[in-house]
Structure 1
Amino acid sequence: MKNINMCKIALLIATAIGVTACGSDGNDGAPGEPGEPGQPGPGPTPPVVETSTVTNVEMINHMVEEGKLTIEFAITNEDGVAIAGLKDASVYLAAMTEQGIQRSRDGSVGGNATAGGDKPTEGVSLEMLDNGNYQFVAPMAAVQADTQGLIRLQVGGGDIAKSPYIIIDKPEMTHTTTTETCYSCHVDYATSDIRHSGYVALNTEGEVDFVGGCMVCHNNVPRDIAEDGSSLNTGGYAKNTMQKLGHINHQKFEKDFTPVNCYTCHAEPVMNTNLAGNGCADCHSVEGAKFERVMSATSTNFDARDFHAKKSGLANLKAMRNGYSAETSVPFKDENGVWCTTMALFKLDGETKTPVHIGDNYSHDLTSHHPDTPIVYAGAYLHGYFNNSLVGRFAGHGSDEVKTDNADGTRTHCFPSPSAGFDAADIMASARISLSYDGWTDNDGKESLSFTAYSDAINQSSSEEVPYERRLAVTNDSCTTCHNSETNYHKNGAYNDGGVDCVACHNNGQDRSAKNSAPGFGPMVHSMHWGIGNALSGAKKDEDGNNIANSADSLNADNCVSCHAEGVDLNAIPNQYIRAKAFNNGDQTKMASPITANCFACHNDAQALNHMEQNGGEISAEKGSGNDGTWFTQPTGESCATCHAEGKSFGIEKFHNFER
């Protein structure tokens, strides 16, 4: 995991200035008054200010005593100068109880106190001990000397800027999720417009403590509700517990996400074995006697993450993903001059690769599982390959395609009728093999796990092999963080390794519809998450049956680091056209320049498009007819990288976040 520094808390640097006085070369003179020659004096007083635009806090000490909490801290302004005259501070303590973290509104558990403001707490005191150093005494009737708790401090108000919220103490194992797991999607939550973004807290080292900050209010214990449905001030602070926010609010993403994949969020072991305890009742009925028996029969030391993974079939999926691999050969011509490729499937056991006989284990019947014949799909395609890009489908799934199962278990696909228009391209192959398995079906009714293989290419003129290389601008787990179930969006594609399996169909030379939202892989992904395609999938509908935006829409679209962990180099994008839809008119001859296609997927208003077109960008250019042209050999005129490459005056990183 990466260390997340949102706003490093500056440390107070106490600068001591010594003054030395020189006597005569002879005997020392008589002692003088303090500060006079020959007598040490106090020296100059360090400077202080009474205003700040930034307030930095250094924790010195805190003490939990019966009925009160005492905190000592020092504050400086944006220039590191000590601040005097602080009158405003607030502190919250959510206590660790047998039920977990809890803070009630009536003060019966935990507590809070405020100095300054409109309603200061009775008995509170905030005293400056010396320049910039303060003591904050906060009365809390329910607090005892042995109380452990989650403590959050904030200081400042008026002319002194408010500091960030700071978690100054937190019991061990307060929560099993982490800032890193939450920030896989909620990158830099504090900069978003999502509710309560201003409450994101830091720890005393200046690092974001996202979950700890949330739990100060969203405790493990909910606020009590009266019989008439009204909220009481007893129990916990908020109606929604932290675990309910995690479990319920994260249940219904659009595609291939399962909440029972607990490892997505829970980085630490989850040891709860009590059905009525924190978290279980959010999803399981407390009347579930069957589940009670499961829990009572299970060791008190079991990890609930493993329990759910095994129960749902996720463990089996993970084992299968690690237990097989697919390969396909560089395209070759058979004795009749027909282009072919040969695919193979291997079962893995450590370093040992055992061939799986595709023909003997193939069945295309998806109506039931086939433990003895697990292969439910085996398909191959040939592609044009030019300038490190797939530029179209050269051959595949034709009516005269010839499939041959070989004695060694491999399968050869030959294509007597390839497409025209690829004379300038190298030829490469992709193959996809899908295996059925027990214990899993997703909401699309698919019951298979897919393995995609890409071959190197061959130069048609020289017959030399050309390494298949494709620029990958996302991290390996970019997709699987959210699409975590290992099922497949459609047609048995897979999300692993940044969705590279999808490129066999969603590439620069094949404009897959994506609800007519965008061409190519990158533009399609941008659009389907945050652009015009966001609400077009039809996965979510309102009461009137109208499509509504998917879950990604509520996240910060400019937080590109969610997928692009190492930035985006606009200069590295090949300067060649990609296929484009012609605004739903069915015309397949239109092309788009690549950076414009990606940017327009989100920045799709007329003003943005006008800017792109003025700088050479195109989204609907006539550059060839079907597959019989040389469109992929032609450079575009877009000059986006001139101004928007990283480090430039209007670099992409100045408007999109690529750092955690």
Structure 2
Amino acid sequence: MKKYNGSLLAMALISVIGLTACDGDDGKDGAPGDPGTPGTPGTPGLPAGSFTNTVNSAADFVLTLAPADIVVVGTEDFSLKFTVTGKNSKGEAVPFVGLDKVALYVTNQTVNTTDTGAPMLWANNALTNEFGSSMYCTPTGKATARGGAEVDACTLVEDAENPGTYTGSWVHDGNAPVVLAAGDPNTLYRVMIRSYNVVDSQGEGISDKLLSTPLDFNPSTGELAVSTKDIVSNAACIKCHTQMDGYGEGDVRIANIGAHHNYQKVENCITCHNPAYAGGQDDPEKGFNANFNAMIHTIHKGHHFGDELVGEAKEEFGEIGFPSELNECTTCHDGASGWNDNVYAEACQGCHMDVDFTTGENHLGIVPGSDAACSGCHGAGSLSPIQAHNVGIRAMATDSIEIAVSSVSYTENVSPIEDEIVVTFDVTVDGAPVADGFEFTEFTKYDEMKTGWVDTDGTYYGSASVNLNGTAAAGGKLVVTQTAEYNLGGKSIAITPRFSVCTDSKGMMVACLDGSGEAQYDIGYVAVTMDAAYWNLANADGSGATIARQSDPLRMTADEAKCNTCHTSLGIAKHYGNERFDQCVGCHNNTWGGSYHVGVEYKSDEVDADGNPIFKPVEGLTYHTRDLFAVAHRFHTGLWDDNRGFPAIHLNSDMETLGFPAVETQCSACHKDGVNLFAADGGLTSGKRAIAVDGGATMFISPVAEACRTCHAHSGPAALAHFKSNGAIVEGEAVATSALPVESCSTCHGEGKTYGIDKMHAGGAH
């Protein structure tokens, strides 16, 4: 009924309109009216592509500041000017517009006029003015602080005539809190700017902090300056923590510093970690001194402290394992010599936490009157830092002792089931042949000689070992006889060492134990220099031997030099005797299966009665390979157990990797640059096409899938199903042949492909 009435009303209206239109009108359009007055022209916009307000990575965002464009000391009003560029869709650097919030950090470097602490000190301008560690700048001159309170900020204005150029001024009472009124303009000032609220082209926030390159300058002259306190370079940190990608030449940034989600450079850290935040090591809640010099020592000694750590220090640093030796100071201190020349208690106590300088405990009862007294003992000589820490002695000791294979003989069937190999070694100490009657028995920790044989494709098989202990030298040579069931025929054999000695603080070889059975070495166990040797038994001089693939640089994609940037020496990292991949092959090869760490454990949130963490198994995840890449991947990604003590790298209860200092997905941290992991046929570049899993070289699985599965991100059931669907023979389904089909992984994940490993595992910031 309602619809019907509505229709009648509509018809009536149409009728009325129709009648009105016909009344005195012919129905034609009227004549056009006069044109209106033109409006005021709008301001021309910027041409497309000539600016950007998004960036795809932190490295695409470049903020530039010059000494002449900032006032941060004296009585003049605060002023700030800087420019910002970002990359447009073409990858061109263009002005970045629309920036709405930055934080300004200003520090200064002054001479320490007291007899306590470092000769030069960092001070934060804002902290000195009791304002906080930084000052915000926003278009409104107000900002919300971290705790939620509204605070005064400098007023940020973008120059309409010069897009991407910004100025800052202080419109509130007094001068800006980053201006040090009584500061010395003739000393070094450092300025850093952090930008906020920057997004990518999809509107997602940039994951890494957007930090300007710290500007060091002298305000009185306006000239750039160089700090005398920077005795640890960013490059030194990068050796373990890897480098952020994408920044310009000379702009070196650290990829993975966990604290505060990465402040990228050493120069940034001192903004807060300076004497203003310093405290004693004995603070029961904090447990560490927040000043940078002491804190860095405490962090990197980490788990070596044990129960010495308390409070926040135990929680945050207790699981950090330094991968090199703690006494190798130049691993980090690669800059000026201040670390050796400037001796003061605060820096020393960051590592020597058990020393009490007020009582002399653990300091031979010596109570120094001030830091000025420290140089009396430690300023030079054997107690100076570089001498007391035995810096460089390991390398000296390693180079001083050399063993080399000089001849090999092989006799089959010396008994019904055994063959005999006799290997003669040349042995020198400091370049001179060892004396007749010399033997290594009392000087060694490990003294194994391992032998195996190498197939024509470079595959290593077998592993028999014999100790050199009890073998006396004659004419500078050691003759070692080894019997086993070899069945070598005319094959090439491989001789690899696992050999290390004890040395004193001067790098001289010493007996490992004294007369009472107590350890008396100073450097730990030092790997003896010996190259892996290959000998063709068909030729008397051993010529024409086939080498294992681990000795072929064209087939090895991992880089020993990169390992040593973090570990200093692979001999330190494991087994104290193997310094090269082709020495590790004696045990860690693809034909000797099994694993001493079959299961995987994670550190639960529970602790035992002594407060130690309890490790629990990750159900359904096991490994039965000991091939070198599998072991290395597993250990560095945390797929390990605590069977041999607390693992420095491990999984937490959220299945996250803790303890690995680099970016997990940055393969280049360990692998060679510019070398493909995949060969032309889709298999591994090394030529490895199968891995033994049972310890007897009778059951095998596919190597590409296992390489991926030994990183925890690809260790779950879904990944396993994916591997199988691409032709892999996987864990738990091994087959009794090493002639396995090549997996099709490289079809999608080969270098250069859309989902290539070079793209998906490029790494970058953490």
| One-letter amino acid of the structure 2 residue matched with residue 574 of structure 1 | G
Q: Residues of 2 paired with 1:536 and 1:612: CA distance?
A: 29
Q: Residues of 1 paired with 2:634 and 2:521: CA distance?
A: 23
> Within 5 Å, which residues of 2 pair with 1:410-449?
410-420=477-487, 426-439=492-505, 447-449=525-527
Which string of whole-angstrom CA distances, capped at 9 and with x for unpartnered residues, describes residues 572-612 of structure 1?
Answer: 1214322225xxxx877432322222221112211112222
Would you say 1:483 and 2:533 are equivalent positions?
no
| One-letter amino acid of the structure 2 residue matched with residue 392 of structure 1 | Y
Would you say 1:386 and 2:471 are equivalent positions?
no
Offset at residue 330 of structure 1 (A): 6.1
Counterpart position of 2:24: none
| One-letter amino acid of the structure 1 residue matched with residue 502 of structure 2 | S
After superposition, the Cα gap between the structure-2 partners of 1:406 and 1:211, relative to the gap in structure 1 and judged at 3 Å, is closer
> Within 5 Å, which residues of 2 pair with 1:21-420?
47=47, 52-54=53-55, 55-60=61-66, 61-64=68-71, 65-67=73-75, 69-79=78-88, 80-83=93-96, 86-97=99-110, 98=112, 100-103=121-124, 105=127, 107-108=129-130, 112-116=134-138, 118-119=143-144, 122=152, 124-129=154-159, 130-132=161-163, 133-137=165-169, 139=176, 140-143=178-181, 144=183, 145-146=185-186, 148-155=188-195, 157=197, 164-170=210-216, 171-188=226-243, 194-197=258-261, 199-200=263-264, 210-223=265-278, 240-251=290-301, 252=303, 254=321, 257-271=324-338, 276=344, 278-284=346-352, 285=355, 286-287=357-358, 288=360, 290=364, 292=368, 295-297=374-376, 307-329=384-406, 331-333=408-410, 338-348=420-430, 353-357=431-435, 360-365=437-442, 374=443, 378-387=447-456, 389-393=458-462, 395-397=464-466, 407-420=474-487
| One-letter amino acid of the structure 2 residue matched with residue 451 of structure 1 | T
Offset at residue 175 of structure 1 (A): 2.2
Q: Residues of 2 paired with 1:83 and 1:641: CA distance?
A: 39
Whether the 8 Å contact between 1:474 and 1:564 is mirrored in structure 2 is yes
**Structure 1 SS opposite 2:326:** coil
Which string of whole-angstrom CA distances, capped at 9 and with x for unpartnered residues, describes residues 290-326 of structure 1?
Answer: 57598322586x699x944532445432211122322
Which string of whole-angstrom CA distances, capped at 9 and with x for unpartnered residues, describes residues 260-319 of structure 1?
Answer: 21111111134255654552232343334657598322586x699x94453244543221
After superposition, the Cα gap between the structure-2 partners of 1:265 and 1:591, relative to the gap in structure 1 and judged at 3 Å, is same
Counterpart position of 1:26: none
**Structure 2 SS opposite 1:267:** coil
> Within 5 Å, which residues of 2 pair with 1:504-583?
504-511=586-593, 513-516=595-598, 517=623, 518-533=625-640, 537-540=644-647, 552-553=659-660, 555-566=662-673, 567-571=675-679, 572-581=685-694
**Structure 2 SS opposite 1:360:** coil
After superposition, the Cα gap between the structure-2 partners of 1:613 and 1:455, relative to the gap in structure 1 and judged at 3 Å, is same
Q: Residues of 2 paired with 1:645 and 1:303: CA distance?
A: 56
CA RMSD in angstroms, aligned pairs only: 4.5
Q: Residues of 2 paired with 1:392 and 1:442: CA distance?
A: 38
Counterpart position of 2:750: 645
Whether the 8 Å contact between 2:398 and 2:526 is mirrored in structure 1 is no
After superposition, the Cα gap between the structure-2 partners of 1:447 and 1:532, relative to the gap in structure 1 and judged at 3 Å, is closer
After superposition, the Cα gap between the structure-2 partners of 1:91 and 1:519, relative to the gap in structure 1 and judged at 3 Å, is same
Query: Identity, % of aligned pairs?
Result: 18
Q: Residues of 1 paired with 2:143 and 2:374: CA distance?
A: 50
Larger Cα Rg: Structure 1 or Structure 2?
A: 2
TM-score (norm 1): 0.72
Offset at residue 525 of structure 1 (A): 1.0
Offset at residue 383 of structure 1 (A): 0.9
Offset at residue 448 of structure 1 (A): 4.9
Q: Residues of 2 paired with 1:264 and 1:244: CA distance?
A: 17
Which string of whole-angstrom CA distances, capped at 9 and with x for unpartnered residues, describes residues 473-493 of structure 1?
Answer: 333333334434786566542
After superposition, the Cα gap between the structure-2 partners of 1:260 and 1:559, relative to the gap in structure 1 and judged at 3 Å, is same
Counterpart position of 2:608: none
Which string of whole-angstrom CA distances, capped at 9 and with x for unpartnered residues, describes residues 588-642 of structure 1?
Answer: 7432322222221112211112222222223446555xxxxxx56x354323333
Q: Residues of 2 paired with 1:323 and 1:364: CA distance?
A: 18
**Structure 1 SS opposite 2:630:** helix
**Structure 2 SS opposite 1:533:** coil
After superposition, the Cα gap between the structure-2 partners of 1:557 and 1:464, relative to the gap in structure 1 and judged at 3 Å, is same
Offset at residue 166 of structure 1 (A): 0.7
After superposition, the Cα gap between the structure-2 partners of 1:645 and 1:530, relative to the gap in structure 1 and judged at 3 Å, is same
Whether the 8 Å contact between 1:255 and 1:489 is mirrored in structure 2 is no
Counterpart position of 1:7: none
- 1:613 paired residue among 724, 727, 743: 724
Counterpart position of 2:117: none
Counterpart position of 1:22: none
Q: Residues of 1 paired with 2:426 and 2:373: CA distance?
A: 42
Q: Residues of 2 paired with 1:334 and 1:405: CA distance?
A: 22
After superposition, the Cα gap between the structure-2 partners of 1:329 and 1:611, relative to the gap in structure 1 and judged at 3 Å, is farther
| One-letter amino acid of the structure 2 residue matched with residue 456 of structure 1 | Y
Count of residue pairs the alignment pairs up: 568
Whether the 8 Å contact between 2:69 and 2:80 is mirrored in structure 1 is yes
Whether the 8 Å contact between 2:441 and 2:470 is mirrored in structure 1 is no
**Structure 2 SS opposite 1:532:** coil
Offset at residue 446 of structure 1 (A): 6.4
Counterpart position of 2:316: none
Offset at residue 339 of structure 1 (A): 3.1
**Structure 2 SS opposite 1:456:** strand
After superposition, the Cα gap between the structure-2 partners of 1:491 and 1:193, relative to the gap in structure 1 and judged at 3 Å, is closer
Whether the 8 Å contact between 1:402 and 1:415 is mirrored in structure 2 is no
Which string of whole-angstrom CA distances, capped at 9 and with x for unpartnered residues, describes residues 493-543 of structure 1?
Answer: 23x34x54322222222236241244211110111121422655432599x
Whether the 8 Å contact between 1:47 and 1:82 is mirrored in structure 2 is no
Q: Residues of 2 paired with 1:500 and 1:166: CA distance?
A: 44
Q: Residues of 2 paired with 1:159 and 1:574: CA distance?
A: 44
After superposition, the Cα gap between the structure-2 partners of 1:456 and 1:554, relative to the gap in structure 1 and judged at 3 Å, is closer
Gaps of 5+ in 2: 1-43, 56-60, 113-119, 145-149, 171-175, 217-225, 245-253, 304-319, 506-511, 513-518, 599-622, 680-684
Offset at residue 564 of structure 1 (A): 1.6
Q: Residues of 2 paired with 1:417 and 1:229: CA distance?
A: 60
After superposition, the Cα gap between the structure-2 partners of 1:101 and 1:254, relative to the gap in structure 1 and judged at 3 Å, is closer
| One-letter amino acid of the structure 2 residue matched with residue 250 of structure 1 | H
**Structure 2 SS opposite 1:522:** helix
